[in-house]
Structure 1
Amino acid sequence: MNDTINYGHLMHNAMRGLLAELLRDISANGLPGEHHFFITFDTTHEDVKIADWLRERYPDDMTVVVQHWFEDLNVFDDYFTITLNFGDSPEPLIIPFDAIKTFVDPSVEFGLRFEHADIEPLMDDDDIESPMIDIDTELDQIDEKPRGDAEVVSLDSFRK
């Protein structure tokens, strides 16, 4: 068992789950309205499957647009498959969720960025000081503080 909660890992899993759920809905029902997606992914990821000519052209990362024409969108636990049109040449892609760097839907200004480095907690448990508070002492100190007279302000003084 680990001594710390890896919130970064939990957040990324939640965001990937959101993305998987969204793509499943798009697969079943199509894109609604003006929605479209820019998905940037790491082409060096070992489980990315793209045509050799695409890998040569995009050796580090690639951004695909899911908008007007796409086929065979299938979503699995760890990846999705989609066929996109590249200059009148349909190409199947296999993209693991772990390879995704960014997801953007510009029609509603929504975006996700996935960091791929291991996220360390900002502080270890040893670095966090938890002061002990004596609630009775705190309440006594509040009662002992002098209180000024309340001032009533008329809203008419702010009107022009």
Structure 2
Amino acid sequence: MPKEQLRYDRMVETALRGVVREALSEVAERGLPGNHHFYVTFRSGYPGVDIPSYLAAQYPNEMTIVLQFQYYGLELHDDHFEVTLSFNNVHERLVIPFGAITTFADPSVNFALQFQPVVPAESAEISAISPRPTMVERKDEAKPSDSDDEPKRGEVVTLDAFRKK
């Protein structure tokens, strides 16, 4: 019988989803600072996703929303977030589980995270995300200084290299 192994891939992915949760939580409390805005891509058919049927028909696999100028009532819960957005001048409430998110990006600072969709049975791990995870800022070692005049560079993080095949 094979021994149980630590699932570092799941641990890292859960921690990175905590970054998404923390960013959304701060925005829900204080609004979007400066030029920050978010692109959130999620699996539209994932269990717990609640979007209007016409959007589900238009985006049967994946949908991207933008949180920038016109979003309302952003609320965070243990395993999902809710937000009201305008589609063709009609306000619609969306419910998006954190496990459904496949990409989170803030283009204003060239930051993006890419996720493997969570298998619904594993979603309890996502619910266990701390409401206030510690965030660590990574400094680019090639940069001589942290001057605001220099463009900020981000990176897309993918965890495929660490997954069991």
Q: TM-score, normalized by length of structure 2?
A: 0.69
Point out where structure 2 has 5 or more consecutive residues left out of the alignment.
120-159
Deviations for 1:70-126, whole angstroms, at most 9, x for unmatched residues? 111000111000001112111100000000000010010000000137779668xxx
Which amino acid counterpart does residue 89 of structure 2 have in structure 1?
Answer: D
Distance 2:24 2:162 in 1: 30
In structure 2, what residue type is equivalent to 1:56?
A
Residues 1:67 and 2:75 aligned together = no
Distance 1:83 1:38 in 2: 15
Match of 1:12 in 2: 13
> Does residue 88 in structure 1 map to residue 89 in structure 2?
yes
Kindly provide the amino acid, as one letter, of the partner of residue 45 in structure 2.
Answer: T
Q: What is the CA–CA distance in structure 1 between the aligned matches of 2:98 and 2:162, rounded to whole Å? A: 23
Cα distance in 1, alignment partners of residues 11 and 86 from structure 2:
34
**Structure 1 unaligned residues grouped into runs of 5+:** 124-160
Calculate percent identity across the aligned residue pairs: 39
Which residue of structure 2 lines up, in the alignment, with residue 151 of structure 1? none
Equivalent runs, 1:10-159 vs 2, <5 Å: 10-116=11-117
In the alignment, the residues of structure 1 paired with residue 94 and residue 52 of structure 2 have an alpha-carbon distance, to the nearest angstrom, of 8
Q: Distance in 2 between matches of 1:117 and 1:95?
A: 13
The 1-side partners of 2:53 and 2:21 are apart by 26
Which structure would you say has the larger Rg? 1
* Cα distance in 1 for residues equivalent to 2:22 and 2:163: 30
| Cα distance in 1 between the residues matched to 2:15 and 2:43 | 20
Is contact 2:36-2:68 (8 Å) kept?
Answer: yes
Whether the aligned pair in 1 keeps the contact of 2:99 and 2:118 (CA below 8 Å) is no
**Structure 2: distance between partners of 1:52 and 1:116:** 22
Aligned partner of residue 109 in structure 2, secondary structure: coil
Residue correspondences, number: 122
- Say which SS state the counterpart of residue 83 (structure 1) adopts: strand
